[in-house]
Each structure stands twice: as C-alpha cells, then as structure tokens.
C-alpha cells in the first residue's frame, strides 16, 4: 500500500514540476524552441531570453530585477547553477546597506551566454559577464569576468586554464557547423 501511495504522489509531483517549468518558459522575455527546465528552478522569467535547444538543470537560480539574462542556442546548464545580474550598493555613507534601494548604472548588468556553452554544476555567473561561444565553465566556478570563445574556465577566479581548440580547430569546427558563413 505504501508503495502505491508513494508512486502516485511521485507522479503527481512530477506532473506539477513539469507544468511549473513549462509555465516558466512561457513567461520568459522570449524563447526559442526546445527550451527544457528540469526539476524545480527559481527564475526571474521576464528578464530571461533563451535561444533554441537550451537545457537548464534542476535547482537553477536566475535572479535579475533590472538587467537581462541572454542565453544563446545549444546551451547546457547543469543543476544548481546560479546567474545573478545585480548587486547592492555599499558606498552610501550614513545608511545601513539594507536601507539603500537606489542603484547606479553599474549595479545591474546583463549576463550573456553565447551559443554552444556548457556550464557545469554549481557554477555561479555574476553581473556583467559574457561567456563566449563554445566555452566550458567548470563545476563550482565563480565567473566574475568575461570568458573568451572556446575557453575552458574553472576555479574561483574564473581562471582560463586552456583554450578548447587551436585557431585552426576553431575554424574547422565553425565551418562544419556552418557558423563561418554567417559571420557569427
């Protein structure tokens, strides 16, 4: 009896999650085809723009009150990835930080994830960052600065450890994918 009830509750929970995730995709600023969200995620959907073939793993947290989050095509985002486009001011004298609600131009900045990017589990992408096409962000990385195309970056300082491809391999890769003809 416990097995039957547990199985029924699991199926109801799974249907509920799928409905909520389809709803989150539907209220995004814009999205392409085949955008999939797995498990429960916390997404400020109105400021998120996704291309085609985007997978977002469970436990994702995408927070943006003013700036946008742009996710390109063919992007894989592993579970528990956090993307945050804003920051709080810490420069106001005579007020507690919690009481400061005004923002400056640099307090909120877009995050851009270009095409063919894989972001590993538990990575954190902070405001103003662009992750270049074809890059890999290692699990647990804290990305605070731009990552050039076709790079592999990991560690707490977004250290670029190596290039994913040589210049010749990038050219060959993009030619095979039809990217060199359209100049993107």
What pLDDT, in 10s, does the model give residues 164-179? 888 898 888 889 888 8
Binned at pLDDT 50, 70 and 90, residue 181 comes out as low
Average pLDDT value for the chain: 87
What are the Cα distances from residue 127, in Å, to 39, 67, 89, 164? 25, 9, 14, 24
C-alpha R_g of the chain: 19
Region of residue 122 (phi > 0: left; psi between -120 and 50: alpha; otherwise: beta): left
Mean pLDDT to the nearest integer, 31-57: 91
**Confidence band (pLDDT; 50, 70, 90) for 184?**
very low
In this prediction, residues 68-87 reach a mean pLDDT of 96
Q: Dihedral of the CA atoms 60, 15, 45, 140 (nearest 10)?
A: 10
45 pLDDT exceeds 60?
Answer: yes
Identify the weakest region by mean pLDDT among 88-92, 109-113, 128-132: 88-92
- Is 31 annotated as catalytic? no
Q: Which of 31, 88, 156, 173 is catalytic?
A: 88
What whole-number distance in Å separates Cα of residue 11 and Cα of residue 7? Answer: 6
**Considering the chain, what percentage of its residues have pLDDT values greater than 70?**
91
Indicate the range of 12-21, 92-101, 124-133, 147-156 predicted with least confidence: 12-21
121 versus 26: which is more confidently predicted?
121
User: pTM value?
Assistant: 0.83
């Amino acid at each position: 009896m416990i097995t039957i009830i547990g199985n029924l509750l699991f199926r109801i929970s799974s249907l509920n999650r799928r409905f909520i995730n389809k709803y989150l995709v539907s209220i995004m600023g814009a999205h392409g085809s085949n955008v999939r969200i797995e498990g429960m995620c916390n997404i400020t959907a109105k400021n998120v723009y996704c291309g085609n073939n985007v997978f977002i793993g469970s436990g994702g947290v995408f927070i943006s009150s003013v700036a946008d989050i742009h996710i390109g095509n063919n992007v894989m985002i592993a579970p528990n990835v956090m993307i945050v486009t804003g920051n709080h001011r810490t420069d106001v004298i005579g007020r507690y930080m919690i009481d400061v609600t005004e923002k400056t131009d640099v307090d909120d900045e877009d995050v851009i994830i270009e095409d063919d990017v894989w972001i590993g589990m538990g990575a954190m992408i902070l405001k103003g960052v662009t992750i270049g096409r074809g890059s890999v962000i290692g699990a647990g990385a804290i990305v605070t600065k731009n990552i050039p195309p076709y790079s592999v970056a990991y560690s707490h300082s977004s250290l670029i450890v190596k290039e994913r491809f040589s210049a010749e391999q990038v050219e060959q890769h993009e030619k095979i994918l039809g990217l060199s003809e359209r100049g993107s």
